[in-house]
Structure 1
Amino acid sequence: MAKADKTATMSRLHSAARLARTALAARLLAHGFYAGQDQIMLALDREDGQTPGNLAGKLGVRPPTITKTINRLQAQGFLEKRASNADARQAHIFLTESGRETIRAIEKSVKKTEKQALKG
């Protein structure tokens, strides 16, 4: 593939990714979520009770970023922090009942966005 073709392909991929992120952000906002919060919620749905450090590692973000997002989700009533039984300095993050109830809406938002992106 010629360099110009590679550049054009990469440009289209970047544009498609940006459009998908924008569409997903709008869908999530309708359910009270901001960009990035969905990933934490879905990670906890797969494995509840993770530490902030573990979540940060799995999602590829820095611990201060995950802490800020966890605090916002906790203030919204979607998550709760509990001290570790083994080490009270360590927190574990759990979905609340309200948080569990929103998982389906998040999953539907992601699927609709994927479907729209692949539709063209």
Structure 2
Amino acid sequence: MSEAMRINRALNKMSKLYRAAKARKLAALGLHPGQDVLLWILAQEPEGMTVSELAENLGIEPPTVTRSLTRLEGGGWFRREPVAMDRRQVRIVVTEAGHALVPRIERAWEELAEQAMGEVTAGEREVAISALERANDRLRRIAGEAALAEE
């Protein structure tokens, strides 16, 4: 098998397996993949965020954020507050219950990272992280170039 095939296969398999393992961990918290990041980002803003601000921060479209929030609503992890200057908008603010969930989300992320890396040395871990970060940077540029080409 060629190196290119091995890399593609490994990245595709890792992506699927990581998402499945993350889904299993998050299910124990009552969350689905993506909802963890949304809540975590919201929790970083004490005054909350509008749907547009949240969408921009996540790099996704506002309707996608709205759908995610609708799915999350039953958990009581956030509340909607009207924006004083613009009644058409609402500010999404994390509740006490949401803030209490954040450390559990972070713990799930830490456990998953440890389980995924296994028993590798600190040096091997640093090499793997650096390689993944550089690959992400390159893919971000490629994806950005593709988005520009579509316009």
- TM-score when scaled to structure 1? 0.89
Instruction: Give the AA of the match of 1:22.
Output: A
CA distance in 2, matches of 1:60, 1:28: 21
Question: In the aligned structure 2, how far is the partner of 1:72 from the partner of 1:27?
Answer: 18
- Aligned equivalents of 1:115 and 1:75: distance in 2? 31
Letter in 2 for 1:12: A
User: Is this contact kept in 2: 1:16–1:117, CA < 8 A?
Assistant: no
Q: In the TM superposition, what are the counterparts of 1:61-100 in structure 2 within 5 Å?
A: 61-100=60-99
Q: Does the aligned pair in 1 maintain the 2:51–2:66 contact within 8 Å?
A: yes
Structure 1 residue 18: Cα displacement: 1.4
Structure 2 unaligned regions, length at least 5: 120-151
RMSD, aligned CA: 1.6
Dislocated runs of 4+, deviation >3 Å: none
Structure 1 residues 18-52: Cα deviation after superposition (integer angstroms, max 9, x where no partner):
11111111111111111211011110122241111
Please tell me the residue identity of whatever aligns with 2:98: G
Percent identity over paired residues: 31
Q: Aligned letter for 1:61?
A: I
Residues 80 and 96, structure 1, Cα contact 8 Å, conserved in 2: yes
**DSSP-derived class of the 1:80 partner:** strand
Take 2:56 and 2:12, find their aligned partners in 1: how far apart are those partners?
24
The separation in 1 between residues aligned to 2:49 and 2:10, in whole angstroms, is 36
Cα pair 1:52 1:92 within 8 Å, conserved:
yes
Question: Aligned pairs, how many?
Answer: 118
Larger radius of gyration: 2
**Residues 90-109 of structure 1 deviation map (CA, whole Å, 9 limit, x = unaligned):** 11111111111111111111
What is the distance in 2 between the residues matched to 1:32 and 1:58?
23
Q: Relative CO higher for 1 or 2, CA cutoff 8 Å, sep ≥ 6?
A: 1
